[in-house]
Amino acid sequence: MAVARHGCPPWGSILGLLVLALAAAAAWDVSFLRCSLGSFCECDFWPDLPGLECDLARHLAGQPFGQGPGGEVIEGLCTGPSPQQALVLSLHGWTGTGKSYVSSLLAQYLFRGGLRSPHVHHFSPIIHFPHPSHTEQYKNELKSWVQGNLTACGRSLFLFDEMDKLPPGLMEVLKPFLGPSWVVYGTNYRKAIFIFISNTGGEQINQVALEAWRSRRDREEISLQEVEPAVSQAVLDNPHHGFWRSGIMEEQLLDAVVPFLPLQRHHVRHCVLNELAQLGLEPREEVVQAVLDSTTYFPEEEQLFSSNGCKTVASRITFFL
Ligand SMILES: *[C@@H]1O[C@H](CO)[C@@H](O)[C@H](O)[C@H]1NC(C)=O
């Protein structure tokens, strides 16, 4: 477990879960979280890490990793009032494996207003950048939004969904905000958090998980080192991904590539039970079974992983109540 420098407490277990990783062995100093560092809790940034950890542990199905990137990631968020550079996470995995869920929990537990906080900015290609022919205009807009928002509050979260559907070239404008070149703009820019989400690399992650299963290894034994290179390569090879030729991967401006493993039947069960609890309903076994039986699984032969993870669980439950 990496204990970051600058007297930062080990936030490993929280980011560990976030990054599907790091043994949950840390006992961090909760007093650190009470904004005792003054500028640490600026604007709406009001982290509740024990809450986040607890929620992830209870509700995120099937994403425990043995080891994580730890050090740098922790440092990024964790150096209190003045981190060295922005925290940059890229989440990858098959549909319905929990990427959006994790990012919404992050928003919820790091910012008082959650996803509705004025300092949490959620970008979706079809809403914000629908026309590839307007790329130049989008580039200017995005740059001035990020710049404007970070000037207003350094503790801002920028969330980019469906990275594989963005107009090519758009993400280039983010590059100066992600790396150490923050000096160009000023110190506020190092406190930002960027989260990028895509399905890119999902097939590669599934393949690793499948091979692990076939050789009777626990999915918990899959290491980040086994998965990450394949995911990074899939991103580099995908001309539709926002990082294509942006230099962001090449120059290693990401603190962590976070792979989400495909979900098995018992993970989907976990999602069904969560959903029933959310609805305030008893966990009726016949409902759970009906949802599990209406889920499709792959590969054809082994019927191992849910085709769309837990994505349609909520909508299908209503059929069986
Ligand atoms: C902040 O970002 C939003 C988009 O999320 C944009 O509409 C707004 O104009 C930006 N604010 C500033 C000050 O640039």
pLDDT in tens, the chain (321 residues): 332 323 233 333 334 433 322 222 233 333 344 444 444 567 888 877 777 777 887 888 888 542 333 334 444 454 455 566 788 889 999 999 999 998 998 899 888 899 999 999 999 999 999 999 999 999 999 999 999 999 888 889 999 999 999 999 999 999 989 877 655 556 667 788 899 999 999 999 999 999 999 999 988 888 888 999 999 999 999 999 999 999 999 888 888 888 999 999 999 999 999 999 999 999 999 999 999 999 999 999 999 999 999 999 999 999 998
Place of tokens 């904004």: 35
The C-alpha atoms of residue 76 and residue 5 are separated, in whole angstroms, by 11
Nearest CA to ligand 1 atom 2: 145
Residues 6+ apart with CB under 8 A from 245: 168, 169
- pLDDT for 76: 45
Distance 140 CA to ligand 1 centre (A): 12
The C-alpha atoms of residue 272 and residue 75 are separated, in whole angstroms, by 35
- CB of 274 within 8 A of CB of 280? no
> Domains of the chain: which residue ranges?
12-260, 265-320
Specify the 3-state DSSP secondary structure of 294: coil
145 CA closest ligand 1 atom index: 14
pTM of the model as a whole: 0.85
Distance 123 CA to ligand 1 centre (A): 11
Burial class of 24 by CB neighbour count within 10 A (0 to 12, 13 to 18, 19+)? middle
- CB of 1 within 8 A of CB of 22? yes
122 CA closest ligand 1 atom index: 5
Ligand 1 lining (C-beta closer than 6 Å): 121, 144-145, 148-149, 152
The first and second tokens of residue 167, run together, are 């107009």
- CB of 203 within 8 A of CB of 170? no
148 CA closest ligand 1 atom index: 14
Nearest CA to ligand 1 atom 10: 145
